[in-house]
């Protein structure tokens, strides 16, 4: 399940990297299984690598070690290059799948398993990555993750999972775009939609983040290849020709305090110029993910 049968072209950056990571992880897990002489079930970051999912940028697990999951302390083992963890929910229905004959946690289970090991922001980004827009890289849906968590025995991080799922969005394109969305939401601006489609002279374009009511868009610039940069410029020109105000952000915009504040101030002014009425108030992720806020919206 979820195997890459062929290696995607290098120009298809995310699929290509996912396939390479998966191949390397399959080889490492196969070697470990041969050395142990037993069937192993891997979890944590090893499962994410098998699934071809981007690794979190902040995590308390070691990506250099193969993460093996067992039911109890009695079945733990020691082996160079591996670490053993116990997790009761490995026996929950739907918790285990196989990727190229390597047993690993399912996409739904690995989300739950990772909760104690990730900050809330990274857990939200993980949910977005597991349910991304790319049909080749998409691994599950938010409804399936929710259903699995409901079936689980109580586990550490369950509340964090519920908070993360309140803010996760399906059909996103990258963890950095998810981070941009959450930074904007944290300033109480009008809510922006992910991958919003519009018609342009160059055909249909998807806006990374969009406020259709106020015709404001935010695009994340990953700056990969020169040819892609030229295509992105043409795309932005097409979008602007339809009377949209477009903001471009990159890694530095999101991670430099000065640049992030400058961007948010400009975005606020654009919303007000377009007629939006709102009170700008900074909210932490804990405040944003408070389930009472989301119940009140329904």
Q: Find where tokens 């999101």 sit.
A: 254
Would you state the pLDDT for residue 227?
A: 57
Domain boundaries, position 198:
176-273
Would you state the pLDDT for residue 291?
A: 66
Per residue in 249-283, pLDDT (tens digit) is 999 999 999 999 999 999 999 999 999 999 999 99
Would you state the pLDDT for residue 292?
A: 65
Q: Find where tokens 């806020």 sit.
A: 293
> Is the predicted pLDDT of residue 149 greater than 90, yes or no?
yes
User: Are 46 and 92 contained in the same domain?
Assistant: yes
> Which of 132, 153, 172 finishes a domain?
172
Would you state the pLDDT for residue 226?
A: 53
pLDDT band (50, 70, 90) for residue 80: confident
- Global pTM reads 0.93
> Which of 172, 194, 228 finishes a domain?
172
d(CA 52, CA 42): 14
Would you state the pLDDT for residue 73?
A: 76
Q: What is the average pLDDT across 216-225?
A: 82
Per residue in 170-216, pLDDT (tens digit) is 999 999 999 999 999 999 999 999 999 999 998 999 999 999 999 99
Per residue in 123-148, pLDDT (tens digit) is 999 999 999 999 999 999 999 999 99
CA proximity to 271, closest of 227, 216, 228, 226:
216
Would you state the pLDDT for residue 127?
A: 99
- Sheet containing strand 96-99, edge to edge, reads 82-86, 66-70, 41-42, 102-105, 96-99
Would you state the pLDDT for residue 297?
A: 56
Beta-carbon contacts of 92 under 8 Å, excluding residues fewer than 6 positions away, are: 109, 148, 151, 152, 153
Q: What is the average pLDDT across 73-77?
A: 76
Domain count across the chain: 2
Q: How many residues does the chain have?
A: 298
User: Are 100 and 128 contained in the same domain?
Assistant: yes
For 4-8, 16-20, 288-292, which range has the lowest pLDDT when averaged over its residues?
Answer: 288-292
User: Are 168 and 187 contained in the same domain?
Assistant: no
CATH for 203: 3.40.960.10
Q: What is the average pLDDT across 106-131?
A: 98
> Is the predicted pLDDT of residue 64 greater than 80, yes or no?
yes
Q: Is residue 93 situated within a structural domain?
A: yes
Percentage of the chain lying above the pLDDT 70 cut:
96
d(CA 239, CA 246): 8
């Amino acid at each position: 399940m979820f195997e890459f049968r062929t290696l995607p072209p290098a120009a298809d950056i995310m699929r290509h990297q996912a396939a390479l990571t998966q191949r390397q992880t399959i080889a490492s897990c196969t070697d470990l299984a041969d050395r142990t002489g037993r069937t192993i079930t891997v979890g944590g970051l090893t499962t994410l690598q098998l699934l071809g999912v981007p690794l979190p940028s902040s995590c308390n697990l070691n990506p250099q070690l193969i993460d093996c999951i067992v039911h109890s302390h009695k079945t733990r083992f020691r082996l160079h290059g591996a670490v053993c963890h116990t997790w009761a929910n490995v026996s929950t229905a739907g918790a285990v799948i196989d990727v190229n004959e390597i047993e690993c946690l399912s996409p739904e289970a690995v989300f739950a398993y990772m909760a104690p090991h990730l900050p809330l922001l990274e857990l939200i980004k993980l949910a977005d990555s597991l349910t991304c827009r790319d049909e080749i890289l998409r691994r599950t849906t938010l409804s399936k993750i929710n259903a699995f968590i409901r079936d689980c025995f109580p586990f550490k991080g369950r509340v964090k999972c519920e908070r993360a799922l309140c803010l996760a969005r399906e059909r996103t394109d990258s963890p950095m775009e998810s981070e941009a969305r959450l930074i904007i939401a944290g300033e109480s601006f009008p809510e922006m939609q992910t991958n919003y489609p519009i018609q342009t002279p160059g055909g249909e374009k998807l806006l990374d983040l969009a406020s259709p009511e106020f015709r404001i868009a935010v695009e994340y610039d990953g700056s990969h290849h020169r040819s892609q940069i030229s295509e992105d410029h043409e795309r932005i020109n097409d979008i602007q020709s339809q009377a949209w105000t477009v903001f471009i952000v990159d890694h530095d915009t999101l991670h430099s305090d000065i640049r992030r504040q400058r961007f948010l101030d400009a975005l606020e002014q654009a919303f007000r110029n377009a007629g939006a009425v709102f009170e700008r108030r900074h909210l932490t992720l804990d405040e944003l993910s408070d389930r009472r806020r989301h119940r009140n919206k329904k």
